[in-house]
Chain A
Amino acid sequence: MSAALGGWRVQRISAMVLALCVSVHLVTMIFVVHGGLSAGAILARLHGNAAWGLFYTVFVLAAAAHVPVGLRRIAEEWLGWRGASVFAVSVLIGLMLALAGLRAVYALIGGPL
């Protein structure tokens, strides 16, 4: 399998993006969880906010690129599942994660109140 499809570089580049996103996410969570989460507080922070919308869109896409490579490594090394089939399934998981993630971003940024 070619280097581009192997995923090593995809995993590293997405990891660099995720390092920034996850840092922001951890700090945000620690602040907003104060006394428990409420839909009102979450939507008040996010609804209609383009900056958070852009942030979470980048976050979702980076995660959707990162997760399939890691899962594929586990399938290859721990389950002995290699080749085109595991690659196809991992890419499908990535696409589904991207769709589900973008749907969640839309629900929080542009959905109903």
Chain B
Amino acid sequence: MSELDATRNGSVVADAPRKTPGRRADARARNHPAWWAFLVHRLSGLALAIFLPMHFWALGTALHGAAAFDSFLAITRQPAFVFAEWGLVTLLAAHLIGGVRILLIEYRPWSGLRKDLIALTAGGALVAGLAFALSLTL
């Protein structure tokens, strides 16, 4: 008799010690594409949330005229800024496609973890990042 059957039959009391970890999340649950999709979505969202106030502040320098705005943009042409910019574009694309995956799972009659959409997220983010890098360097 399985543990589930035992529970149904009432032969296992609720607080009896379990023989197995059961449904408790362990390393196996994390070594899965859907968990990595979750982590990428959360960390990209956090990075974008931290970036956003700086983005708005930077664009706000245009209030002091085009010259002030341009002097800020000159700073952002340093390699470190360009690299961060490219990273943020890639993360934005990943957060976008990963977010659409969540909306499709929740609002459309599509069941499952949609690993195809996880693959699309990775591929789409890569394409967007490469397109941005290509446009930047041409």
Contact = CB atoms under 8 A, between A and B. Distances in A.
Given A34-B138, A36-B77, A111 B53 contact: no
Contact of A97 (B56, B61, B76, B93): B56
A30 B131 CA distance: 7
B21 to A, nearest CB: 20
By DSSP majority rule, is chain B's interface helix, strand, loop, or mixed? helix
B76 A37 contact: yes
Nearest to B62: A107
By DSSP majority rule, is chain A's interface helix, strand, loop, or mixed? helix
A30 B92 CA distance: 13
A67 B49 contact: yes
Interface string A11-46: 010011011001101100111011111111011000
Q: 5 closest A-B pairs (Cβ-Cβ)? A: A104-B59, A39-B70, A39-B69, A100-B56, A107-B62
Contacts of B48: 67
A63 B92 contact: no
Contacts of A35: 136, 138
Interface in A58-108: 60, 63, 67, 70-71, 74, 96-97, 100-101, 103-104, 106-108
A30 B59 contact: no
A22 B135 CA distance: 18
Contacts of B80: none
A38 B132 contact: no
Contacts of B67: 39
Given A26-B96, A34-B135, A111 B103 contact: no
A38 B62 CA distance: 12
B62 A37 contact: no
Contacts of A96: 53
B87 interface: no
B66 A23 contact: no
